[in-house]
Amino acid sequence: MRLLIVGTLEGHITAAGRIALSRGAKVAHVDDIDQAMIALRAGQGADLLMVDVAQDVGQLIASLTAERFSVPVVACGVGNDAGAAVRAIKAGAKEYLPLPPDAELIAAVLEAVSQESNAILFQDPAMQSTIKLVEQVAPSEASVLLTGESGTGKELLARHIHRKSRRARNKFVSVNCAAIPENLLESELFGHEKGAFTGAVARRIGKFEEANGGTLLLDEISEMDLRLQAKLLRAIQEREIDRVGGTAPVKIDIRIIATSNRNLEDEVRRGRFREDLFFRLNVVNVRVPPLRDRPKDIELLAAHFAKKYTAVNGLGARPLGAAAMAKLKSHGWRGNVRELENTMHRAVLMATGGEIDPEAIVLNDQPLGEGQRTESQRPTASSTLPGSTGEAAAAAARSGDLVGMTVAEVERRLILDTLQHCLGNRTHAANILGISIRTLRNKLKQYNAETGEGAPGEQAEASAS
């Protein structure tokens, strides 16, 4: 855990830093927002920013967003100043901590950030064998390619490999190749010099240099442009990179882990991924099984999320009933663990009794209110069998309102509805639609220019793998 303290914390820096250090954090301090940004651009990195409310928290968060630094911010102020707390939270801070610092409160915040990044819960044999393989290869220096559907936990496994490796005391740095526009990804990876392009207001150390001595995760690497793949291959082979606008190569020492929710061999055959880069990355391939193939993990994770979200929402304990669990196990889980988490969050809010029953389990292919139907209103087995009259009627009802629309209009509706179904997650939506994230991004830009649509997901690109 890397903690960066910004500001004086009203004279409580030493106490706060000492508490964080005692809980295992690596602590650094800067005087103001400008110095914080300089430190981050220089590759210092941070997993959490603890910021004095005397600083302009809104400006800091805007700067982090503009320069694509994904770091949670916790604001700190003397006493229980409700006004300061509200302003900080509205500006985008995750939490407000009163000063002087309370050891247990700071420890809880550090633990929450750490658990959010690192927790792996499993008990199914399919996942146990995956973890066994991961731990077997972790101490080596070999590149690892993690493949599997979106939402199966590939990034968590990448972090697990790092923690079990000889590089564990050094940095773990992650780059989501699907979430960063093509024209910015090169700078994100390799860094740039001041003035290298419009908007390059200062030198920026890229993720390769930031991860030096540690591990670099290239998340959803299949979305990377072919031209940039060539530069990446050279960086891996030569163990050196060139900053954008730089004049001299920079030596690097990192271990590469890559993830993809696509079949990279198919992408190679289709000319969308370089074969030489595939072989360079695919020294060890670990396939992460989908949630539907891990029934015991469904039990464990569902109970975990139910407990988590009853606490978050201030509700009493609501255990899962046997019938509700059976319903969860029979579902296909296209969105895997991410979909299960969302389902359980809804379930604890919709449950009306002392336990979560089947009516509270609203699945993604089931509209809200579906679970509240009476038995007599629910479709019978015969009405939903393939080729049945019931299915034909349902298909007619679904397609009837498409008559009169152009193909382009139907395509737009399909894309926007799928994106909304995926809660704005572009990577997941693109996977369902069978198109690249690049194509999806271009379509959304087109819709936004034409009609002002395309808003879903504009700020929520691929947060989890």
Per-residue confidence (pLDDT) for residue 9, from 0 to 100: 85
Average pLDDT over the chain reads 82
Q: What homologous superfamily does CATH list for 402-465?
A: Homeodomain-like (1.10.10.60)
Q: Which long-range contacts (CB under 8 A, 24 or more apart) does 408-415 make?
A: 411/443, 412/443, 412/447, 412/453, 415/440, 415/443, 415/444, 415/447
CATH fold of 129-289 reads Rossmann fold (3.40.50)
- Mean pLDDT, residues 417-422 taken together: 74
Domains 2-118 and 292-380 share a fold: no
Q: Identify the band that residue 390 occupies on the pLDDT scale cut at 50, 70 and 90.
A: very low
Report which residue type is found at 256.
Answer: I
Cβ atoms 264, 145 nearer than 8 A: yes
411-434 CB burial, b ≥16 within 10 A, e <16 = ebeebbebbebbbbbbbbbbbbbe
CATH of region 292-380: 1.10.8.60
- If you average pLDDT over each of 76-85, 164-173, 197-206, which comes out highest? 164-173
Kindly tell me the sign of the dihedral angle through the C-alpha atoms of 422, 428, 431, 437: positive
Per-residue confidence (pLDDT) for residue 365, from 0 to 100: 62
Element housing 259 (H / E):
strand 255-260
Give 212-253 pLDDT, tens digit per residue. Answer: 999 999 999 999 999 999 999 999 999 999 988 888 899 999
- If you average pLDDT over each of 262-266, 378-382, 404-408, 409-413, which comes out highest? 262-266
Give 47-96 pLDDT, tens digit per residue. Answer: 889 999 888 898 998 888 888 787 889 888 876 667 777 888 888 888 88
The residues near 244 (Cβ < 8 Å, ≥ 6 apart) are 186, 187, 190, 191, 192, 193, 196, 197, 200
Q: What homologous superfamily does CATH list for 2-118?
A: Response regulator (3.40.50.2300)
pLDDT top residue among 380 and 146: 146
Strands (E) in 208-252, as ranges, are 215-219, 240-241, 250-251
Query: Could you state, in order of their start, the residue ranges of all structural domains in the chain?
Result: 2-118, 129-289, 292-380, 402-465
Query: Does the pLDDT value for residue 116 go beyond 70?
Result: no
